[in-house]
Structure 1
Amino acid sequence: MNAMGNLYQRVGALPFLFVVSFAVFGSQQPRFLSVANIVNVATQSSYLVIVALAQTLVIIAAGFDLSVGASIALASIVLANLMLTGGDPLWCILLGGLGSVSVGLLVGLVNGTFVAVTRVSPLIVTLGTMTAVQGVALMLSSGMPIFGLPEAFNATFALGSLWGIPVPTIAAVLVCAAVHVLLSQTTLGRHIYAVGSSPRAAHISGVPVRRTLIITYALTGLLTGVAAFLLTARVGSGEPNLAGNFPLMSIAAAVLGGVALRGGEGTAFGAAMGAVSIVLLTNGMDLIGIGSFSQMLVLGTVLVFAAVVDTFRQTGRI
């Protein structure tokens, strides 16, 4: 029991979740273990991986971002409108991509500035931002999807592949590598961990706490814009209600991957694998015929379980 406890303290529940998923779903549905399905899971999880990595940055800095879903929706509407300006499809796609990333960056800067300057709880700030941004997305779109995007957009960024690897998967891997380098190899990364561990101690040590928070939330917004670009390509239209469940799912993925809710601890790889585990769980439930309502119950339980695991790892109780 002590050995199991030590293993649990080091890696958390994620490896056990993978083992249970493969054992249960693999025994119930042979297709679950097929190469085609594993590739499908890798592709489908790419979007949540990117948002979970974005969420990881602010959680490590002892914050949250509940506005990631609304930010994705607004970015989707903005990029769709920009792509409909006409002209060369390549130019329209580039313009839409720039618009998507700019929207995410702007929302992130607003969040970071309010959190850093007013010192209001990130939960309250991003909850307010989520509501306002979602309202803007609905107003710009009149609550309706925007169709007519260039065919090359979907064909390249949703269905395309490079060396046999789907483009969304490549994007997720590149984002994971970039976040890993940022957190482990840069001064900003060390500052993010320091602020998350203790803002007061970080300030005394000379860390620019406010600037670090603003940059961190801005980077989270930028990555959210990247996810919005890829998700819009996947659905083929600007969607005002896109990614509504991503705020909680991204937090659950990060926590399942070992990112501490209290801040100051976590890795990019862990968060990415946490996102993959959630998509793997959903995929397995789809294959064995579990209904959508029951899936909501299971995913909600996983979210609570992730929070409990995080608390137990912090306190050492097991």
Structure 2
Amino acid sequence: MSEFFNYFSILKKFLSSSFIKAGVLPWFLGVALITFSFASDNFLTTQNILGVARHSSDLILVAMAQMVVMLTAGLDFSVGVILAMTSVVASMTMVALWSGYGSGWEAIFIGCLAGLLVGALIGLVNGLGVAFLRVPPFIMTLGMSSIIFGLALTITGGIPIYGMPESFTNIFGYGTFLGISLTIWITLFFIILVYIFINMTKMGRYFYAIGGNIRAAELSGINVRFYIVSAYVFSAVITSIAALLITARLETGEPNIGASYPLLSIAACAIGGVSLLGGVGRVQNVVLGAFFIILIQNGMNLMRVGSYLQMVVIGVLLIVAISAEYFRQQMLSTIKK
């Protein structure tokens, strides 16, 4: 009996140590892989995993964008409308400039640039409102969501925009390189770019410092307002990249494409261990968090779980992840004491 308790004690210490070091994400992934592997023979096939990676690319980009803002103790509920407005402006510009003949690369370039600039402008307004007007991030970005969504619907009349150059869709929507979707390669490039930016640049370190203790950051000479604005602009640009990839895949400019992304991006960050209070988070964990959410949706689709019930599952995972992260931080603080 005593041996049993010894083994139980060792197992408990191992699980506790693993949870403190890695957070809740590995446990979520393990349970999901085991459950869906038994539920469907198609789940762990190469084709299905590559499909999940391709479909998770949009959420990965938006989740990384959300993480940048969350590091500064902010939240960006406008990521959905940034997706919509970027898609609308980029597609309308391409349609206006393309003659209908040839590859239309000039129209594609100008259209993508216009979409990125509009996205950056939305991020700039968000950042200025939070940093200079002292509007709480939740209120500022939620208000901008209403404004931009209204503008997107007004511009388009709620109707998708067709007629973009086929080259845009064929390459950025369905193109492949070495047998792998070009969307995945583009996403990998931006994962590396954001990782380097967050971990190896002065601006990235300042984001952590601002989220960790904004007063201490100010006293140490950091231009807090400038870097908060920069965080929202950088976040918006990364979100706009995702919007262009979605637009290429859908072959239309859509004013309604981003409704679910605010919740999903926050869920991916929370599952990946990003603190809602700021100053804590890792790019690689957020990428895995976004991949995990799409993996869950894919597994539930294979099990023929309805889309409404899937929303319930995502909400439960978000609550569990935030609760688990709270307890993890409590355990960390206890160990440090």
Query: How far does residue 203 in structure 1 lie from its aligned partner after superposition?
Result: 0.5
Equivalent position of 2:179 in the other structure? 164
Does the Cα contact within 8 Å between 2:211 and 2:279 map onto a contact in 1? Answer: yes
1:6-39 Cα offsets, whole Å, 9 max, x none, are: 2112211111111111101111101001000010
Equivalent position of 2:26 in the other structure? 15
Match of 2:125 among 110, 116, 119: 110
Equivalent position of 1:145 in the other structure? 160
Amino acid at match of 1:29: S
Equivalent position of 2:282 in the other structure? 267
Equivalent position of 1:26 in the other structure? 37
Equivalent position of 2:306 in the other structure? 291
Amino acid at match of 1:294: L
In structure 2, C-alpha distance between the alignment counterparts of 1:309 and 1:263, rounded to whole Å: 16
Larger radius of gyration: 2
1:81-113 Cα offsets, whole Å, 9 max, x none, are: 101112351111111110111111001100011
- Structure 2: which 5+ runs fail to align? 1-11
Match of 2:329 among 296, 310, 314: 314
Equivalent position of 2:115 in the other structure? 100
Equivalent position of 1:219 in the other structure? 234
Query: Do residues 38 (structure 1) and 49 (structure 2) align?
Result: yes
Corresponding residue SS for 2:132: helix
In structure 1, C-alpha distance between the alignment counterparts of 2:135 and 2:327, rounded to whole Å: 27
Query: Do residues 128 (structure 1) and 137 (structure 2) align?
Result: no
Corresponding residue SS for 2:43: helix
Corresponding residue SS for 2:42: helix
Within a 5 Å distance, the mapping from 1:145-294 to structure 2 comes to 145-294=160-309
Does the Cα contact within 8 Å between 1:261 and 1:310 map onto a contact in 2? Answer: no
In structure 2, C-alpha distance between the alignment counterparts of 1:269 and 1:104, rounded to whole Å: 24
In structure 2, C-alpha distance between the alignment counterparts of 1:268 and 1:56, rounded to whole Å: 8
Equivalent position of 1:71 in the other structure? 82
In structure 2, C-alpha distance between the alignment counterparts of 1:309 and 1:133, rounded to whole Å: 34
Amino acid at match of 1:274: G
Amino acid at match of 2:128: T
Equivalent position of 1:81 in the other structure? 92
Deviates more, 1:32-41 or 1:158-167: 158-167
TM-score, length basis structure 2: 0.92
Corresponding residue SS for 1:242: coil
Query: How far does residue 64 in structure 1 lie from its aligned partner after superposition?
Result: 0.5
Identity of aligned pairs, percent? 38
Corresponding residue SS for 1:316: helix
In structure 1, C-alpha distance between the alignment counterparts of 2:235 and 2:177, rounded to whole Å: 26
Amino acid at match of 2:152: A
Corresponding residue SS for 1:284: helix
Does the Cα contact within 8 Å between 1:74 and 1:240 map onto a contact in 2? Answer: yes
Does the Cα contact within 8 Å between 2:24 and 2:325 map onto a contact in 1? Answer: no
Query: How far does residue 267 in structure 1 lie from its aligned partner after superposition?
Result: 1.1
In structure 1, C-alpha distance between the alignment counterparts of 2:134 and 2:195, rounded to whole Å: 28
Deviates more, 1:27-36 or 1:90-99: 90-99
Match of 2:60 among 20, 39, 49: 49
Query: How far does residue 164 in structure 1 lie from its aligned partner after superposition?
Result: 2.0
State the superposition RMSD in angstroms: 1.3
Query: How far does residue 311 in structure 1 lie from its aligned partner after superposition?
Result: 1.7
- Structure 1: which 5+ runs fail to align? none
Does the Cα contact within 8 Å between 1:80 and 1:96 map onto a contact in 2? Answer: yes
